[in-house]
DNA sequence: GATTATTATGGAACCGTTTCCAATTATATG
DNA sequence: CATATAATTGGAAACGGTTCCATAATAATC
């Protein structure tokens, strides 16, 4: 493996000069530039990243920290992130991070420190699994972080999150607008701020229209197909009179539709179903699922761009508008 | 940030000794071990990975190379891989690799070299996007590779793939066994060996039972919901007489069911549908989807373990049995 | 053409480890 | 107890870059 010294010798220049052409910092005359480039090509020279990082303290790597419960980040989103990084020649290290627990009250911070020590210029903290207090503390010590799917008020520039309250509200309003009064609801976990916001937005929309949702018509799900299926069955057994069902994500909506359909319930004529996320799958359920669009990829891209600005002094424009949008398909009908 | 020299000074030992306790290579007496550990703790010493890699040529990192067309690797599988790596303290770098093309005949190899140069001890090559010739060449120069979802005959120990021929055969046989003679088929792309094997297994099973599949009843899909939906519509318009439909993956099966159901076709009573993959979704379609189980995660885990053996001289047991298994649910019925 | 400002260049010192060898100390052997 | 053997230990040298400073070459100015 050729080193910078080999190149310098072959090109007949000093090592400093070679370093300058590699990094592009510092001035090099055109003649020497050519000589050095030729020598590098001849020797198939490839700079050693460890040596570069050791002496420059730059790693050209960012870390993605998230836990299982951060949600299902699709491979597509991950690819999107990688693509965004590629032009800057920075790589992505992913981790399966840990949440704090009674036994390990510092678990998340420790797993993050591990990532940082591994050699990351910056970090994407994905999801809301890390307590806000810890995030603020972390940011003091290591400012190159960006939050994806989490909103910390004190860090507006670094938070890339969707307004789940508004989205939940829109969902509720849509069902009300269509004349539904008996509304059932399969929620997600309540241990993240997302879930709470969406929940409150939804409930508030109903309440402001003087509709209250009966306890029996709320089922605590967990975003999985499984719970959507079980939830729909449960609700149907409890009180089969509801005319609309809101699900906290498309996966549970899809399996809820299956569950109800297989019991002979006609969707949407007997029960309207509204999902949340607008995943690919939503267009291909039967009937096609009305849902709330959540621009995951857009948020991910913005977060990455902000991080690049932070880490590498770039000045990319960042889009912070992630609006809730209702996608009307055929699973919700007007009640007459 | 404390260095090894600070630790050495505080502990009153030489730097070599400190290095030995960090790495665990070489012998250290119990007394000094304690002294050094205390000093490290007092200084909150964390070894600098760049320096370690520079001098040891070990990176404690492996790369995952795959292209968009490698298929949808779920976040769950990725997490599984990370988990498998964690006990060995090795990180994962993911890339969105490139396929060869007319304009870039070396694209895949170049993107792999980039990964290697970044600092990987080994590589998971995921999918069959890299020509076999290139893989063999790569392995000569960089033997620490493992193939996931690809089978190169000359590298049996490093190939972790599913026998798609057998699986396709089982699928075909299952439909035949249930008395189906008019069989439709939504395929995947034909540009990977997977797809071809599955295809031939399926066709062979039919042929050996003296059933031939009409050209009009084959639709070339691409594994997406979209093509599954379109394919089912297409087939139904062509010749609505088929009694069974085989789909190359569960996603297209799911959307095919939706498409047919929305046309008023009773699944499974009028048309049986058989999927492939056994994704989570398969249990929650309506009706629940019969399918072929593909043990993706199990293969991924085996591949990782093999790679750990290769890179770090470990001796983990590797499971190479990835058998095709039919999962009978309710989307295929016996024709009477 | 002399003087000054600017650009280009070489290379020592440094980044923080690992590794190897020589030296020391402890342990075993006869 | 002397000697052979094994276990510990210190630290120089090396890994392959970047950075900074002193110096040389070039361009600009009067």
- Measured between CA atoms, how close is A290 to chain B, in angstroms? 15
Q: Which of A73, A91, A119 sits opposite B50 (nearest CB)?
A: A119
CA–CA separation, B267 and B250 (whole Å): 15
User: What's the Å distance between residue A85 CA and nucleotide C14 C1'?
Assistant: 30
pLDDT of residue B70: 61
The answer to whether the beta carbons of residues B267 and B273 sit under 8 Å apart is yes
CA–CA separation, A89 and A83 (whole Å): 10
CA–CA separation, B223 and B244 (whole Å): 18
Q: Which of B73, B229, B288 sits opposite A284 (nearest CB)?
A: B229
pLDDT of residue B74: 72
The fold for domain A164-294 equals Rossmann fold (3.40.50)
Q: Which of A 285-324 have CB under 7 A of nucleic chain D?
A: none
Can you list the residues of chain A whose pLDDT is less than 50?
Answer: none
Q: Which of B75, B115, B288 sits opposite A75 (nearest CB)?
A: B75
The answer to whether the beta carbons of residues B225 and B258 sit under 8 Å apart is no
CA–CA separation, A174 and A176 (whole Å): 5
User: What's the Å distance between residue B55 CA and nucleotide D14 C1'?
Assistant: 8
* The pairing of beta strand A183-187 with beta strand A325-327: unpaired
pLDDT of residue A97: 84
A17 touches strand D (CB under 7 A): no
User: What's the Å distance between residue B14 CA and nucleotide C22 C1'?
Assistant: 15
Which nucleotides in chain D lie less than 7 Å from some protein C-beta?
7-21
Write out residues whose CB is closer than 7 A to strand C.
Answer: A 12-17, 19-20, 26-29, 31-32, 51, 54-55; B 1, 3-5, 15-16, 19-20, 22-23, 25-26, 45-48, 51-52, 54-56
- Per DSSP, the residues of A126-167 read ESS-S-HHHHHHHHHH---EEEES---TT-GGGEE---HHHH
**Total residue length of chain B:** 336
Question: From the CA atom positions of chain B, what is the Rg in Å?
Answer: 26
Nearest to B53 by CA among B147, B119, B7: B119
* Minimum-distance nucleotide, CA of A7 to C1': D16
Report which secondary-structure segment, H or E, holds B233: helix B225-238
For the stretch B54-81, what's the b/e string if a residue is b when 16 or more beta carbons lie within 10 angstroms of its beta carbon? beeebbbbbbbbbbbebbbbbbebbbbb
pLDDT of residue B194: 82
- Homologous superfamily (CATH) for A59-162+295-324: Response regulator (3.40.50.2300)
Judged by CB atoms closer than 8 Å, whether chains meet at A284 and B95 is answered as no
Structure tokens at A227: 């719970």
Q: Which residue in chain B has the smallest CA separation from A280?
A: B225
Adjacency order of strands within the sheet including B183-187? B218-220, B183-187, B244-247, B272-274
Q: Which residue in chain A has the smallest CA separation from B53?
A: A50
Q: Which of B76, B117, B284 sits opposite A258 (nearest CB)?
A: B284
Q: Which residue in chain A has the smallest CA separation from B57?
A: A50
Within 8 A of A46 by CB-CB distance, chain B residues are 117
Distances (CA, A) of B49 to A59, A255, B26, B61, B121: 11, 47, 20, 11, 14
pLDDT of residue A69: 65
pLDDT of residue A38: 96
- Measured between CA atoms, how close is B157 to chain A, in angstroms? 27
A15 touches strand D (CB under 7 A): yes
Structure tokens at A41: 């090509």
Cis preceding-peptide flag for B287 (omega within 30 of 0): yes
A26 touches strand D (CB under 7 A): yes
User: What's the Å distance between residue B14 CA and nucleotide D8 C1'?
Assistant: 11
Extents of the domains making up chain A: 1-57, 59-162+295-324, 164-294
CATH for B1-57?
A: 1.10.260.40
Angle at B142 between CA B298 and CA B49, to 5 degrees: 80
Judged by CB atoms closer than 8 Å, whether chains meet at A96 and B117 is answered as no
Task: Name the one residue in this structure whose structure tokens are 């919901």.
Answer: B225
Can you list the residues of chain B whose pLDDT is less than 70?
Answer: 69-73
Structure tokens at B68: 């968009």
Q: Which of A54, A72, A91 sits opposite B93 (nearest CB)?
A: A91
The answer to whether the beta carbons of residues B98 and B107 sit under 8 Å apart is yes
Residue nearest to nucleotide C25 (CA to C1'): B29
- Measured between CA atoms, how close is B226 to chain A, in angstroms? 7
Q: Which residue in chain B has the smallest CA separation from A281?
A: B225
* The pairing of beta strand A91-96 with beta strand B91-96: antiparallel
Mutate to test the interface with B, among A258, A261, A330 (most CBs of B within 10 A): A258
Same CATH topology for A59-162+295-324 and A164-294? yes
B196 touches strand D (CB under 7 A): no
- Measured between CA atoms, how close is B242 to chain A, in angstroms? 21
The answer to whether the beta carbons of residues A188 and A168 sit under 8 Å apart is no
Nearest to A275 by CA among A194, A167, A181: A167
CA–CA separation, B200 and B209 (whole Å): 14
Q: Which of B61, B91, B286 sits opposite A261 (nearest CB)?
A: B286
CA–CA separation, A309 and A316 (whole Å): 6
- Measured between CA atoms, how close is A207 to chain B, in angstroms? 32
Judged by CB atoms closer than 8 Å, whether chains meet at B74 and A72 is answered as yes
Chain centroid to Cα A124, Å, comes to 9
Structure tokens at B282: 């398969």
Judged by CB atoms closer than 8 Å, whether chains meet at B286 and A224 is answered as no
């Amino acid at each position: 493996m050729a080193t910078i010294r080999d190149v310098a010798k072959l090109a007949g220049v000093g090592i400093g000069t070679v370093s300058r052409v590699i990094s592009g910092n510092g001035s090099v005359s055109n003649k020497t530039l050519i000589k050095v480039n030729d020598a590098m090509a001849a020797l198939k020279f490839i700079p050693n990243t460890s040596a570069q990082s050791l002496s420059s303290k730059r790693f050209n790597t960012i870390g993605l920290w998230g836990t299982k419960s951060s949600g299902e980040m699709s491979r597509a989103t991950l690819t999107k992130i990688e693509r965004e990084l590629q032009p800057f020649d920075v790589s992505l290290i992913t981790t399966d991070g840990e949440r704090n627990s009674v036994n390990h009250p510092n678990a998340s911070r420790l797993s993050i420190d591990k990532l940082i020590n591994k050699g990351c210029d910056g970090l994407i903290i994905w999801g809301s699994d890390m307590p806000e207090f810890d995030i603020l503390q972390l940011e003091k010590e290591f400012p190159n972080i960006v939050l994806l799917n989490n909103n910390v008020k004190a860090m507006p520039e670094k938070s890339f999150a969707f307004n789940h309250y508004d989205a939940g509200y829109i969902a509720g309003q849509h069902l009300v607008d269509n004349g539904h009064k008996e509304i059932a609801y399969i929620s997600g976990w309540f241990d993240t701020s997302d879930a709470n916001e969406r929940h409150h937005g939804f409930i508030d929309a109903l309440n402001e229209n003087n509709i209250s949702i009966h306890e029996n018509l709320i089922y605590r799900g967990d975003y999985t197909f499984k719970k959507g299926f079980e939830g729909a069955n449960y609700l149907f057994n409890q009180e089969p009179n509801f005319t609309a069902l809101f699900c906290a994500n498309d996966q549970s909506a899809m399996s809820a539709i299956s569950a109800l359909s297989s019991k002979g319930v006609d969707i949407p004529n007997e029960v309207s179903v509204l999902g949340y996320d607008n995943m690919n799958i939503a267009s291909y359920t039967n009937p096609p699922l009305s849902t709330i669009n959540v621009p995951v990829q857009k948020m991910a891209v913005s977060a990455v761009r902000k991080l690049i600005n932070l880490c590498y002094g770039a000045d990319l424009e960042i889009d912070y508008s992630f609006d809730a949008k209702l996608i009307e398909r055929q699973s919700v009908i007007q009640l007459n």
